[in-house]
Chains A and B, each alone.
Chain A
Amino acid sequence: MGGLLASTLVYGLVNSVVLLLTSLGFSLTFGLSGVANFAHGGLYLLSGFLCWLLMHRVGLPFPLAAAATVLLVGLLGAAIYRTVLMSVRGIVLSEVISTFAVGVAIVEFFRWKGFTTYDFTLPALVDGSVDILGVTVDWQRLLIVALGLALTGLLWLFTHRTMVGLALRGMSQDEYTALSVGIESDWAATLSLGLGSALAAVAGIALLPLGIISINIGYDVLLIALAVTVLGGLESTTGLILGSLIVGFAMVITGNYVGPRWSEVVYLAAIVIVLAVKPSGLLGKSKELEDRV
Chain B
Amino acid sequence: MSSPGRATRRERIDRGIKVRSDEIFVLASARDLAWVLLPRALAVAALLLFPLLGARVGPYWQTVMINTMVIALLALSWDLLASVGLISLGQSLFFGLGGYVAGALDSFAGLGPLWSIPLATLLGAALATLVLYPLLRLRGVYFGLITFALPLLFMRLIETTGALGGTEGVSGLTPLPNRTVEIYLVTAAALLTAFAFRRLIATDYGLVFHAVRDNERSVMAAGFDVQRVKAQAVFLAALPAAFAGAFVTHRYQFVGMTAFAMEYSTLPLTAAVVGGPGSFLGPVVGSFILVPLSEAMREFGSLRVVLYSLMLLVFTVGLPEGIFRFVARKYGQFERRVAIEEAPDGR
**Nearest-neighbor residue (CB-CB) of B151 within chain A:** A268
With A111-B301, A223-B149, A223-B152 as given contacts, are A101 and B316 in contact (CB-CB < 8 Å)? yes
**Nearest-neighbor residue (CB-CB) of B300 within chain A:** A112
Give Cα distance in the complex from A109 to B310, angstroms.
11
User: Which A residues touch B140, using CB under 8 A?
Assistant: 92-93, 291-292
Q: Using an 8 Å CB-CB cutoff, how does the interface string of B281-310 with A read, 1 for contact, 0 for none? A: 000000000000000000011110110011
B70 at the interface (CB under 8 A from A): no
Give Cα distance in the complex from A292 to B143, angstroms.
9
Interface of B is mostly: helix
Question: A88 to B153, Cβ gap below 8 A?
Answer: no
B156 at the interface (CB under 8 A from A): yes
Q: State how many angstroms separate the Cβ of B83 from the closest Cβ of chain A.
A: 13
Per the CB 8 Å criterion, the residue count for chain A at the interface is 39
Report which of B152, B266, B306 forms a contact with A109, defined as CB distance below 8 A: B306
Question: B149 to A271, Cβ gap below 8 A?
Answer: yes
Interface segment, A9-17, A142-150, A193-201, A257-265?
A: A257-265
Question: B145 to A271, Cβ gap below 8 A?
Answer: yes
B239 at the interface (CB under 8 A from A): no
User: Which B residues touch A94, using CB under 8 A?
Assistant: 316-317, 320
B312 at the interface (CB under 8 A from A): yes
Report which of A36, A105, A109 forms a contact with B141, defined as CB distance below 8 A: A36
Question: A96 to B89, Cβ gap below 8 A?
Answer: yes
Chain B, range 118-151, C-beta contacts under 8 Å to A: 134-135, 137-142, 144-146, 148-150
Question: B316 to A272, Cβ gap below 8 A?
Answer: no
Report which of A88, A261, A268, A275 forms a contact with B138, defined as CB distance below 8 A: A275
**Nearest-neighbor residue (CB-CB) of B159 within chain A:** A261
B259 at the interface (CB under 8 A from A): no
User: Which B residues touch A87, using CB under 8 A?
Assistant: 317
Give Cα distance in the complex from A84 to B157, angstroms.
36
Q: State how many angstroms separate the Cβ of B294 from the closest Cβ of chain A.
A: 12
B273 at the interface (CB under 8 A from A): yes
A226 at the interface (CB under 8 A from B): yes
